[in-house]
Structure 1
Amino acid sequence: MNIIDNDLLSMQEARILVENAREAQKKLATFPQEKLDEIVERMAEEVEKHLKELAKISNEETEYGKWQDKYVKNHFVCEYLKNKLKGMRCVGIINEDKINKTMDVGVPMGVVIAFPPATSPVSTTIYKALIAIKSGNAIIFSPHKRAKNTISKTVDILIRAAEGVGLPEGAIAYLHTVTESGSLELMKHKDTSLIMNTGVIEMLDKAYKSGKPVIYGGNGNGPAFIERTADIEKAVKDIITSKNFDYGVVSAAEQSIVVDSLIASEVKQELIKNGGYFMTEEEALKLGKILFNQDGSPDLELIGKSPQFLAKKAGFAVSESVKVLISNEKFVSKYNPYSREKLCPVLAFYIEDDWMHACEKCIELLLTERYGHTLVIHSKDEEVIRQFALKKPVGRVLVNTAGTFGSMGATTNLFPSMTLGSGSAGQGMTSDNVSPMNLLYIRKVGYGVRMVNEIVKTVNYKEDSIPAILNGKLNVNEIDNYKLLESILKKVLQNLK
């Protein structure tokens, strides 16, 4: 009888994949930007033919969200990201200042290990592959177990397209035998350069322990504040559309609404008009009990489910017209399920006296759970908007737009991205909308433009200082080196000012 140890098999496969990827990346590093662009263009063109099919496969395999909305996300990546990447220089000389005689040279990191989430497996996989190759990196995917077939099929399409126009074999790959041991081997391998983790929280600590740089696109607990000067009708439509999209699985979707008391009644009416359902206290209690497991983890079977499904599970019913379930709340606590991130169409609703109190409430919500992601403010008061931008511990502040779409760059001019950095929370190395530029290091080049003697002459020394040394009048050992260095630094800093 043959006994197969999947852990050992996965670890061995991981080692081979990284070794092959390193050799492929060495070849890739010699490609000019124009050749990399040709490969990226071909990948996007080919996978675009399969976007609807992949959306349906994803929905069937994961049972998260709506395939129609997943199709929109997939198309967004292929269209918006592809267009944004055109003309962007990532490798070679990417910036040159002929006046100041400096240059920036983009250098690929090397081999990137990527963890796509089960909530957006197709769009995130396509996005990561495109930005990796654009920046001259090799990339290996560790598929999420709940979306293994979807991610594998997506990567296979990308590989065929890319290798057909000259991508070195092994530059894009994925782990076929998926185990935790195999994923760990990918991360800690000596030839691995960078780890990109999008929302796979269970692998985050292990990524840090690998000792490699980590880009983490984390989950969020982002509130939306509707200030008294806001366009209420638009603000409410944005929030409902955002939270109902793909049944709330996008990490930047709004989790709570904080409203100025002056307009609270009008906002409530508008929410109901647009498909919001305010639960009774009893209904909210029932739903709150099932959103999370006893250990505090979310119930995976409730992620990306419709409001009707959630209500039925909790023991009450809502009409088919309902798009979002809303719970009236007063307090923020890690023990309050409505204060937490909910990857389903459920919102908390808070009322505050003014924008200052709302500001504090938003900070409370952000600090409760994995802060550092996204905050939305709806307002026409620029001073209030600026205060929110200055004070909130977040990676991005979105103004007068929907969280889901604004964060990924669809309704804003932020970089089109499916990995939204959470670096402001100390999770990962950046809070950017991650782009190819985050997968590079910049080699700085500076030409000499001044002689050392010119620097020395700018400092007014006494007879027993540097000029005396240069003229040979004093022995260096006779100089108080500490005081001399201090004098030089002071003068140089004054001149720089």
Structure 2
Amino acid sequence: VVSILKGRNAVIFRPSSRGAKCSKKAIDFMREGLKKVGAPENLVQCAEDMDIPTTNLLMQKCDLVVATGGGPMVRAAYSSGTPSYGVGVGNAVAIVAEDADIQQAASMITSSKVFDNATSCSSENSVIIHSSLYKTMIEEFKKNGGYLCTPAEREIMQQTLWVVNDKGKQTINPKVVAQHAQDVARLAGLSIPGDAKMILIEGTLPAHEDIFSQEKLCPVLTLYPYDTFDQALDMYTRITLRCGYGHSVGIHTFKSEYIERMGETLDTSRVTVRQPMAAANGGHAINRMPSTTTLGCGTWGKNSTTENIHYKHFLNITWVNEPVAPREFSEEKIWGEYWKKYGK
């Protein structure tokens, strides 16, 4: 909202039905703040109980749409005829390399995973761990409040986390979304330690065929071992091709060759190095990326940008230009090196 207002804009929020009450409460706080500084309260508005046709009409009439819902919402925004910024599906994956500081990595991943009960699109859903560290990382996760499910409990968790909706499609069970690990376990009929705040699942291979490699929107984290860095990158790519393509990848390593290779070769908008992804992906003092909760995923994720949507995206820029002394150039200066190498 600060980014929007910074560009001298007004904004109308159309929250989802499940988030309507808390969204309205947050917007009321903003309106009180505007009134306190003598600004018009209606710079920030909330459209409650708006049906889909009216929402579509609103998108057609406004100047810009920012769509942060699911795929259908983003497609509707792009189809409205109004300039739009959409976001792709989140399904953040982190890699723990053989040289990682495992205590730091486990602490960061846990803090990111449990933040806001894993509702952030940047919350790690899968962690790909070098096989030499795999068992040790599990123990570190346990020290940070993780509970490791048995194979039998994994099956129970799968039946709890995913259900078939009224359209016959398998989808996340809405009852687990944004719930604490204790509540997710209780819903599954499992008994976990009272201090557990994250549920660990050992994934099955190939990872991209394992349903637990998908976005889960609750504090359930899936773990996969790997042997070579090539395998880790291939596993990441195949997981995100199924869910979360173009969004982000994390890496816990000190090897610059790994980091550079990921930036050069992976189809991802963000490579987040040795940081908790839920905090870092959206911009933070620790990395100085633009701060946002709206993350573009580029054409990989069917979005118009790979950037963090921030204040510059809510500005129209006027270019004032005046004549200056022209640069002198010739074909020889432009093409000379090319001609020397390849001929005219």
Fold match (TM-score > 0.5): yes
Quote how far apart the aligned CAs of 1:143 are: 2.2
Choose from 348, 366, 371 the match for 2:222. Answer: 348
Alignment of 1:405-444 (within 5 A): 405-410=279-284, 411-444=286-319
Partner of 1:142: 14
> Is the helix fraction higher in 1 or 2?
1
Q: Could you say what secondary structure the match of 1:301 adopts?
A: coil
Runs (4+) off by over 6 Å: none
Give the TM-score of the pair, scaled to structure 2: 0.88
CA offsets, 1:66-122, max 9 Å, x none? Answer: xxxxxxxxxxxxxxxxxxxxxxxxxxxxxxxxxxxxxxxxxxxxxxxxxxxxxxxxx
What SS does the corresponding residue of 1:370 show, helix, strand or coil? coil
Per the normalisation by structure 1, the TM-score is 0.62
Contact 1:332 1:364 in 2 (8 A): no
Contact 1:142–1:178 (CA under 8 A) maintained in structure 2: yes
In structure 2, do the counterparts of structure 1 residues 197 and 381 end up closer, same or farther at CA, with 3 Å as the change threshold? same
Alignment equivalent of 1:226, drawn from 75, 96, 105: 96
CA displacement, residues 35-65 of structure 1 (integer Å, 9 cap, x when unaligned):
xxxxxxxxxxxxxxxxxxxxxxxxxxxxxxx
Q: Distance in 1 between the 2:89 and 2:31 partners?
A: 29
Provide the residue aligned with 2:341 in structure 1. none
Aligned to 1:375: 249
User: Which stretch of structure 1 is more off in the superposition, 166-175 or 229-238?
Assistant: 166-175
* Alignment-derived partner of residue 322 in structure 2: 447
| Distance change >3 Å, CA 148–CA 316, structure 1 → 2 | closer
1:241-252 equivalences in 2 (<5 Å): 241-252=111-122
What is the identity, as a one-letter code, of the residue corresponding to 2:163? N
Q: Residues 65-84 of structure 1: matches in 2 within 5 Å?
A: none
Identity %: 26
**Cα root mean square deviation, aligned:** 2.4
Is 1:324 the equivalent of 2:202? no
Q: Deviations over 1:426-476 (max 9, x none)?
A: 43322222110011233333332236xx86xx65xxxxxxxxxxxxxxxxx
Work out whether residues 218 and 251 of structure 1, in 8 Å CA contact, stay in contact via their aligned partners in 2. no
Match of 2:174 among 292, 297, 300: 300
Matched residue, 2:55: 183
| Alignment counterpart, residue 215 of structure 1, candidates 85, 102, 108 | 85
Shift of 1:259: 0.8
Asked if residue 161 in structure 1 is aligned to residue 36 in structure 2, the reply is no
Q: 1:401: how far off?
A: 1.0
Other structure's SS at 1:376 match: strand
Structure number with bigger Rg: 1
Distance verdict in 2 for CA 1:261–1:169, change over 3 Å: closer
Preserved contact between residue 219 and residue 373 of structure 1 (Cα < 8 Å): yes
Distance 1:143 1:186, change over 3 A: same
What amino acid does structure 2 have at the position aligned with 1:433?
A: N
Q: Report the Cα distance in structure 1 between the residues aligned to 2:269 and 2:185, rounded to whole angstroms.
A: 33
Partner of 1:261: 131
Residue identity matched to 1:390: E
User: Does the aligned pair in 2 maintain the 1:395–1:424 contact within 8 Å?
Assistant: no
Residue 184 of structure 1 deviates from its aligned partner by 0.8
Alpha-carbon distance, 1:297 to partner: 2.0
* Partners of 2:209 and 2:162 in 1: CA distance: 10
SS in structure 1 at match of 2:133: helix
Count of aligned positions: 333
